[in-house]
Amino acid sequence: MHLSRRDLLVLWLFAFVASALVGTHGIVYWDAGDYVTLAIDGGRSGLLLGRPLFLLVSRAIVDTGIDSAWAEPVLRWFWTAVGACAAPAMAVLAARLGV
């Protein structure tokens, strides 16, 4: 099965909308505030598994000149958009595996 770019875009859009409806109403993840603070202050997380890269990218976004008052919503929507990429990525993987 071949997935077109349009199919992948629609799948991403559905994932993005679902994420927006479920969990983007302010800081809902229990330590999201800490991550925003670390991104603004340039702090480091003691946790591994991608968090250093996550904070590096978040810090780069904040360093573009975003007012710290807007950092949380900008980072929230950016990472929501990135997270929605998981759905099309899994669809591509499944198609390549013949599922």
pLDDT at 52: 82
d(CA 74, CA 70): 6
Strands (E), 1-99: none
- pLDDT by residue (tens digit) across 37-58? 888 887 777 776 667 888 889 9
pLDDT at 8: 96
As a whole number, mean pLDDT of residues 84-93 equals 96
Provide the CA 30 distance to its chain's centre, in angstroms: 16
Supply the DSSP string of 75-86, one letter for each residue.
Answer: HHHHHHHHHTTH
- pLDDT by residue (tens digit) across 21-39? 887 665 555 566 777 888 8
Q: Which pTM was predicted?
A: 0.79
pLDDT at 87: 96
